[in-house]
Structure 1
Amino acid sequence: MESYSGRDNVLQYRAQRAFQKIMTEACEELGLDRATWLLQQGGDGELAILPAGTSERAVVTRLTPIVDRLLREHNRGLAPEARIRLRIGVHEGLVHLDGANGYPGEAVVTVCRLIDSPQLKAALRQFPGAAVALIVSDRIHQDVVRHYQDLRPEHFRRVSATVPEKDFEAIAWIYVPGENIAGDAEAKDRNESRRPPGNSREGSGDAGRRSRVPTPQPLPGGQVFSNITSHGINAFGNGNVISTSGTHDTTDPRRSDS
């Protein structure tokens, strides 16, 4: 659950009850027997080991949209701090079911890292109207998502999911129900590519225009004046005089037109 630790005791209690209710309703709608799942509870969520024979296609492509719909119905009318938004991760692999303190296995570690990756958290923040963000491993994406059209494969964003403090990095795919997260990323990349390279402001604004104007160089035996604005009668150089009308005063034989 997003922002679970920021809730007070009462809101955490309510969120846990709502989470269990929504997951049970979603499984019933899918025809999945949640009672057969091996669950390791974590307060703000759970690790679920699904039994052999469970439809991967149903879990990957149908569970997330159903949970998203049920959560949006639940959140309607609630204060922002009471709303529930979820991150869901799916991976596959070998797991020891008889561990002394949980379920040992690299697959378990991987799915836990995926769910905690900043890339998935950022995706959920990017779409405040969504209630769920899904991340699947590259293996799941290749085996399930790209072969079936339950969810449009082109709406998944390919990311390098990282948890630096755990020395974890893996290719994964993120999906947000009702959103084209991949298209938004492509549009952002196009906008970034149109920007001038570097961080310098040269070339934009008055400072940029001034920086491109060459500095006038004096000619031998003459004088050069550049970018001069005159208000009233002023003298420049060796006794040169310019009138306010822009007409040269010819009374001074030393006037220069350079």
Structure 2
Amino acid sequence: MTGAGQIPRKPYFYGVPAGRRRFDVPGGPPDGGGPVTKGGTAMDHPERRLLISVDMESYSRRGNILQYEAQQAFRELLQAAAAAVGLDRVTWSTQRAGDGELAILPRDVSESRVIGRFVPELNRRLRAYNSSRLPAARVRLRIAVHQGLVHLDGANGFPGNAVVFVSRLCDADPVRRALAAFPDAGVALVVSTDIYRDVVSEYPEEMRPERFRRVRISKPDKGFDEYAWLCVVDEDLSTVPAPTGEGPDGPEGGAGSPAVPPPGPVRPDFAQASPGGGISVGDVRVRGQNAIGPGATAIGSVGRDAILGGGDR
């Protein structure tokens, strides 16, 4: 209750654990803080979370019965894959659509478990499910993973630029093409640069970082132009050539360039033959017979003359 002359405070919405119902707490939080106010609207502080956007391939081309079956399989397969690796989907805050979902994961979730174990497990289950079905009835998924600030108390979803970002990744043409290139695959996975650097490359678990390709995802009409990392789980994306005019610097990406340079020593491929024999490397020219690198053999004089170009010696 409020005393005479006091203005009653608006109820404060606590940020509650994912999967539980929000409730009004009169008087605000116990530490005396209050909700963020913008434009006269009270809202919770945003929280940094892991976000997953999942979309089903070719869902709208299905008839009613196949859509119904696909939705059932989608939900059951995600639930089973999560449980198999020790994740509880009840704690995920989800915004569902018929052909997919946006999931905001709990604060304490293991990112390496989500990417390195949950995604491969889901891929295996999808492949097994699809193996006994006609192409029109198969469930194949595009999955995007990102992290960022998100409001959990939105009136009609989860407000936040991170939500927009992960949704753009999931819907990108390079991701669609990559999945389409492998008819037996279950999952095409695209992750933001931060996720690739901090999780995939450092704690891959069952994933193979060298199978990821850097792609550029550009949507000029949406004001979106970002790089991301793409793979088709248990497939080799390098076997698929990038469409003409595309690549890591193209308008929409493509297969992109290898995430990890091929092993082996760095070779001086910029070395050129000099007139009259010998080689030149930059400002250095060596005449006569030459031997370069371990185990190299030369007949005759080796490195007879070395001529340096301009600059410091």
1:3 to partner: Cα distance: 0.3
Structure 2 alignment gaps of length 5 or more: 1-55, 245-313
1:91-145: per-residue Cα shift (whole Å, max 9, x none)? Answer: 0001000011100011100000000000100110111121110000001001111
Alignment correspondent of 1:163:
219
1:187 to partner: Cα distance: 9.3
One-letter identity of the residue aligned with 1:162: S
CA distance change for structure 1 residues 188 and 118 in 2, over 3 Å: closer, same or farther?
closer
Alignment correspondent of 2:79:
24
Structure 1 alignment gaps of length 5 or more: 190-258
Contact between 1:118 and 1:162, CA under 8 Å: does it hold in 2?
no
One-letter identity of the residue aligned with 2:129: H
> Per residue, is there more strand in 1 or in 2?
2
TM-score (norm 1): 0.70
CA distance change for structure 1 residues 187 and 16 in 2, over 3 Å: closer, same or farther?
closer
1:161 to partner: Cα distance: 1.6
1:188 to partner: Cα distance: 8.9
Instruction: After TM superposition, list the pairs within 5 Å mapping 1:122-201 onto structure 2.
Output: 122-150=177-205, 151-181=207-237, 183-184=238-239
1:203-243: per-residue Cα shift (whole Å, max 9, x none)? Answer: xxxxxxxxxxxxxxxxxxxxxxxxxxxxxxxxxxxxxxxxx
* Distance in 1 separating the partners of 2:89 and 2:168: 23
One-letter identity of the residue aligned with 2:175: L
* Distance in 1 separating the partners of 2:90 and 2:103: 11
Q: Does 1:9 align with 2:64?
A: yes
* Distance in 2 separating the partners of 1:148 and 1:160: 24
| Percent identical residues | 52
Q: Does 1:68 align with 2:123?
A: yes
Contact between 1:87 and 1:120, CA under 8 Å: does it hold in 2?
yes
CA distance change for structure 1 residues 185 and 128 in 2, over 3 Å: closer, same or farther?
closer
1:23-64: per-residue Cα shift (whole Å, max 9, x none)? Answer: 000110011110011010011000000011000001112222
SS at match of 2:201: helix
1:164 to partner: Cα distance: 3.5
Q: Does 1:54 align with 2:109?
A: yes
**Aligned residue pair count:** 189
Q: Does 1:40 align with 2:95?
A: yes
Alignment correspondent of 2:281:
none
* Distance in 1 separating the partners of 2:241 and 2:139: 29
Alignment correspondent of 2:176:
121
* Distance in 2 separating the partners of 1:187 and 1:137: 20
SS at match of 2:147: coil
SS at match of 2:189: strand
Q: Does 1:103 align with 2:162?
A: no
Contact between 2:174 and 2:217, CA under 8 Å: does it hold in 1?
yes
Contact between 1:87 and 1:121, CA under 8 Å: does it hold in 2?
yes
Q: Who wins on radius of gyration, i.e. which is larger?
A: 1
Q: What root-mean-square deviation, in Å, do the aligned CA atoms of Structure 1 and Structure 2 show?
A: 1.8
Instruction: After TM superposition, list the pairs within 5 Å mapping 1:199-238 onto structure 2.
Output: none
1:167 to partner: Cα distance: 2.4
Of 21-30 and 56-65, more deviation after overlay is shown by 56-65
TM-score (norm 2): 0.58
1:156-189: per-residue Cα shift (whole Å, max 9, x none)? Answer: 01000223432212110011111121x3367999
* Distance in 2 separating the partners of 1:140 and 1:166: 23
* Distance in 1 separating the partners of 2:180 and 2:62: 17
Which consecutive aligned stretches of 4+ in structure 1 deviate over 6 angstroms post-superposition? 186-189
CA distance change for structure 1 residues 82 and 187 in 2, over 3 Å: closer, same or farther?
closer
CA distance change for structure 1 residues 86 and 32 in 2, over 3 Å: closer, same or farther?
same
